[in-house]
């Protein structure tokens, strides 16, 4: 059970931030779990051949990692009742250094009547937003 007092929340208030280090190992594990073995997610030669700047993190991996900020804040991932994003830019995962995905969550909307809060998530890689309109609705 969450102990967040809805009356103490304000639109624009930051609820948390986190950096996630994605590596090629992260991509391999995600591919195995999801069944998405598209070679753009693990082969530099293939990514280059199709015009990409390098091996890309799976979009759904990026999306899944970003919502963790909201889940951590609410304390129970089961309280995330809706979540959506628009994919705007890729996350290129370097073979040696990986990629750092920075995520910040802020209160976007409060519905005191229903106890729902919209958390707006900003996910950036190399100071560029990689998700647009990333919003998680959570139930307090």
User: Tens digit of pLDDT for each residue in 68-125?
Assistant: 999 999 999 999 999 999 999 999 999 999 999 999 999 999 999 999 999 999 999 9
Query: Tell me: the pLDDT tens digits for 9-60?
Result: 999 999 999 999 999 999 999 999 999 999 999 999 999 999 999 999 999 9
| Inside any domain, residue 31 | no
Predicted model pTM? 0.94
**Which residues does 91 contact at the CB level (< 8 Å), separation at least 6?**
22, 56, 57, 62, 99, 101, 125, 130
Q: Could you tell me if residue 95 is inside a domain?
A: yes
Q: How does residue 2 score in pLDDT terms, banded at 50, 70 and 90?
A: low
In this structure, is residue 2 part of a structural domain?
Answer: no
Q: For residues 84, 125, 64 and 93, what is the CA-based torsion angle, rounded to 10 degrees?
A: 140
Is 86 contained in some domain?
Answer: yes
What pLDDT was estimated at residue 59? 97
Residue range of the domain that includes 124: 11-21+58-139
Identify whether 112 is part of a domain: yes
* CB contact at 8 A, 95 and 130: no
Rounded CA-CA distance 53/139 in Å is 39
Cα–Cα distance for residue pair 21/18, rounded to 1 Å: 10
What are the residues whose beta carbons fall under 8 Å from the beta carbon of 73, sequence distance 6 or more? 4, 15, 16, 105, 119, 138
Number of domains in the chain: 1
| pLDDT band, residue 3 (cuts 50/70/90) | confident
CATH of the domain at 84: 3.10.129.10
Give domain status of residue 69, yes or no: yes
């Amino acid at each position: 059970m969450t102990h967040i007092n809805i009356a103490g929340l304000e639109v624009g208030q930051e609820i948390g931030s986190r950096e996630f280090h994605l590596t090629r190992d992260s991509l391999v594990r995600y591919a195995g779990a999801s069944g998405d073995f598209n070679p753009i997610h693990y082969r530099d030669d293939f990514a280059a051949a199709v015009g990409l700047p390098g091996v890309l993190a799976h979009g759904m991996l990026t999306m899944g990692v970003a919502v963790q900020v909201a889940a951590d804040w609410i304390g129970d991932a089961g309280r995330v009742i809706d979540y959506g994003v628009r994919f705007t830019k890729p996350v290129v995962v370097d073979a040696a250094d990986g990629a750092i995905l920075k995520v910040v969550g802020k209160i976007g909307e409060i519905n005191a009547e229903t106890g729902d809060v919209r958390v707006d998530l900003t996910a950036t890689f190399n100071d560029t937003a990689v998700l647009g309109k990333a919003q998680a609705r959570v139930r307090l």
